[in-house]
Copies of this chain bind each other. A is one copy, B any other.
Amino acid sequence: MPRSAGDLDLTFQALADPTRRAIVERLSRGQASVSELAGPHAMSLPAIVQHLALLENSGLVRSEKVGRVRTFRMVPAGLSLAEQWFDRRRAQWQRRLDRLGEHLERFPDGEPKTGR
Contact = CB atoms under 8 A, between A and B. Distances in A.
Interface of A: 8-13, 15-18, 21, 24-25, 28-30, 74, 76, 79, 82-83, 85-86, 88-90, 92-93, 96
Interface of A is mostly: helix
Given A8-B18, A8-B21, A15-B85, 10 more contacts: A10-B16, A12-B15, A13-B13, A16-B16, A24-B89, A29-B96, A30-B96, A74-B93, A76-B93, A79-B89
Contacts of A93: 28, 74, 76
- As for how many copies of this chain the complex holds, the number is 2
11 contacts: A8-B15, A8-B18, A9-B16, A9-B17, A12-B13, A24-B89, A29-B92, A76-B93, A79-B90, A83-B90, A86-B86
Q: Name the residue among A15, A74, A86, A88 with the largest chain B CB count within 10 angstroms.
A: A15
Nearest to A99: B30
A112 to B, nearest CB: 22
